[in-house]
């Protein structure tokens, strides 16, 4: 890590979503990834995403910090909103973003980072303005700068798909929690019913 660049802690939800943020931030920041996924279920899926993140960081020669797997804190925080739909404008997903941002900000402060951010804005399903608003609130709460980026811009998502293919990275087809797994399955079934 270069001593002259600001130190940035980047929450990564999975390896494919880390590819584009790495390419875009590496020239401006001394970057470390953070894997903190209390939302990911079942545990075998959590392990699979973590293993892939380790492999990607080895390939990219970037440091990876890992949190413990704590699905119970996700259930505590997001449980009351599980009847809501998946989306950036529901309390279900906003409370989930906030939980992961709080964990990242806490770690950033503890380890002396100058700023933190998340890779979540790469997803076409996640609104970058909502993420920026929550990230800035969390940054103020913990006294550390939140870097607001919209990684889906400039074909970010498409680029991540191509890069993941090149590196043969595992790409899951649901966000992370069990309700999102069921929602993805329902989307698949609807598509099948339409296409026959």
- The answer to whether residue 86 forms part of the interface with ligand SF4 (CB under 6 A) is yes
DSSP track, 20-77:
HHHHHHTTT-EEEEEE--TT--SHHHHHHHHHHHHHHHHHHT--EEEPPP-HHHHHHH
Which position among 8, 32, 93, 108 is part of the footprint of ligand SF4 (CB under 6 A)?
Answer: 93
Asked if omega into 42 is within 30° of 0 (cis), the reply is: yes
Show the site string, 156-195: x = touches ligand SF4 by CB under 6 A, - = not.
Answer: -------------------xxx--x---------------
Cα separation, 42 vs 122, whole angstroms? 23
Q: Which tokens go with 136? A: 């800035």
Of the two residues 29 and 74, which places its CB atom closer to ligand SF4 in the complex? 74
Give me the residue label for tokens 């900000």: 105
- The answer to whether residue 15 forms part of the interface with ligand SF4 (CB under 6 A) is no
Of the two residues 25 and 120, which places its CB atom closer to ligand SF4 in the complex? 120
DSSP reduced 3-state for 3: coil
- The answer to whether residue 104 forms part of the interface with ligand SF4 (CB under 6 A) is no
Of the two residues 39 and 164, which places its CB atom closer to ligand SF4 in the complex? 39
Minimum distance, C-beta of residue 93 to ligand SF4, in the bound complex (Å):
3
For ligand SF4 (CB under 6 A), the number of binding residues is: 10
Minimum distance, C-beta of residue 194 to ligand SF4, in the bound complex (Å):
23
The tally of CA atoms less than 13 A away on the side-chain side of residue 68 is 4
Where on the chain is the footprint of ligand SF4 (CB under 6 A)? Answer: 39, 78, 86, 92-93, 96, 175-177, 180
């Amino acid at each position: 890590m270069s001593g002259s660049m600001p130190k940035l802690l980047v929450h990564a939800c999975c390896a494919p979503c880390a590819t584009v943020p790495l390419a875009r931030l590496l020239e401006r920041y001394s970057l470390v990834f953070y894997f903190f996924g209390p939302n990911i279920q079942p545990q075998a899926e959590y392990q699979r995403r973590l293993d892939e993140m380790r492999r990607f960081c080895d390939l990219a020669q970037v440091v990876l910090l890992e949190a413990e797997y704590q699905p119970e804190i996700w259930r505590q925080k997001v449980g009351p909103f599980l009847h809501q739909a998946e989306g950036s404008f529901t309390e279900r997903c906003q409370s989930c973003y906030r939980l992961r941002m709080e964990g990242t900000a806490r770690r950033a402060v503890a380890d002396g980072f100058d700023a933190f951010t998340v890779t979540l804005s790469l997803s076409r399903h996640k609104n970058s303005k909502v993420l920026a608003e929550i990230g800035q609130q969390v940054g103020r709460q913990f006294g550390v700068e939140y870097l607001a980026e919209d990684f889906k811009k400039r074909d970010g998502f498409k680029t991540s798909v191509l890069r993941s293919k090149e590196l043969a990275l595992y790409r899951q087809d649901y966000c992370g929690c069990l309700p999102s797994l069921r929602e993805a399955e329902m989307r698949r079934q609807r598509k099948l019913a339409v296409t026959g």
